[in-house]
Structure 1
């Protein structure tokens, strides 16, 4: 069903582009304008305007239908996945335990405090390798 609607949608798009390109130019964009073409009568302009409007409605309708059809199959899923709450330990792999010190931020905070506790030397010293 979706393939049929896509094909109809594409046919509407092609005909709509053709209908818009056949219409008489109204503006003076880039100095191009009207001229006498084979579509110069007022009746033809009304026909093209109506055709464009009908095709535009068809384009929007098929677009909405396609988006509705695409979302009809979608089921809500969890970003956490389908794993059970208690995982079994298989293969002798031990689970990773979270650090008890509070994490990376606490480690960085302790390192910063240790640097602040070091007193500045009274006299200039030569660099030391670590």
Structure 2
């Protein structure tokens, strides 16, 4: 069931992206998308196509939200919890002694200690 809802969700997401990209720009930035040609009386006039794309976008958005909620409900019914709950904690530090050099057992290389006074280059 989860796979079916996920596939439908992905198809709706791709269709929503396509429909949004098909819509005409209303901003008129750089002079693109401002004027639409074509005569009147056709099946999809400029206004009719805009209304159809707006409605399709709204229906796809509602379907996208519904499938998102359905996927969330399905995921919570499995009861597996969070991924972090499945991580095992590291081994206790009492089994290995701390190094004598005071590095604290870090696997990273240690930087040399900073000098007590700043060293400034002196020109002769």
- TM superposition score category, shorter chain reference: 0.5 to 0.7
Pair 1:34-2:39 in alignment: no
Cα distance in 1 for residues equivalent to 2:61 and 2:37: 25
Query: What is the correspondence of 1:84-95 to structure 2 with a 5 Å cutoff?
Result: none
CA 1:13–1:43 in structure 2 vs 1: closer, same or farther (change >3 Å)? same
Cα distance in 2 for residues equivalent to 1:8 and 1:15: 10
For structure 1, the residue ranges without an aligned partner over 5 or more in a row are 78-94, 97-130
Once the two structures are TM-superposed, the CA of residue 41 in structure 1 deviates from its matched residue by 1.6
TM-score after normalising by structure 1:
0.53
Cα distance in 1 for residues equivalent to 2:63 and 2:35: 31
CA RMSD of aligned residues (A): 2.6
Larger Rg: 1
Pair 1:55-2:44 in alignment: no
List structure 1 segments (4+ residues) > 2 angstroms apart after TM superposition: 28-40
Query: What is the correspondence of 1:1-130 to structure 2 with a 5 Å cutoff?
Result: 1-36=1-36, 41-74=46-79
Deviations 1:49-92 (A, max 9, x none): 00000000000000000011001111678xxxxxxxxxxxxxxx
TM-score after normalising by structure 2:
0.55
For structure 2, the residue ranges without an aligned partner over 5 or more in a row are 39-43, 86-93, 96-124
